[in-house]
Homo-oligomer: A and B are copies of this chain.
């Protein structure tokens, strides 16, 4: 379900969707829970997160946070 917008590799496939590859696990869990509870609002994510169990949220956060990311060139350096 996630991959249409966020990709299997966690790199955004839709203009308004963030990259989530290598995102911190506590942040991913907190955001999915916030979309599920309604504390954070998003047309697409409110719908998706409402279908997820706590276990599924943990598993998804574990998957996407485990993707390695490397930072390349930083502007101005």
Interface, chain A (partner B; CB < 8 A):
8-12, 15-19, 21-24, 26-27, 30, 39-41, 63, 66-75
Q: Is the CB of B67 within 8 A of A69?
A: no
Complex contacts, A18 vs chain B, CB 8 Å: 23-24, 27
Complex contacts, A8 vs chain B, CB 8 Å: 74
- A15, A41, A75: residue with the most chain B Cβ atoms closer than 10 Å: A75
Complex contacts, A74 vs chain B, CB 8 Å: 8-9, 67
Complex contacts, A15 vs chain B, CB 8 Å: 24, 26
**Cross-interface CB contact of A71 among B24, B40, B63, B69, cutoff 8 Å:** B69
Q: Is the CB of B21 within 8 A of A71?
A: yes
Q: Is the CB of A24 within 8 A of B19?
A: yes
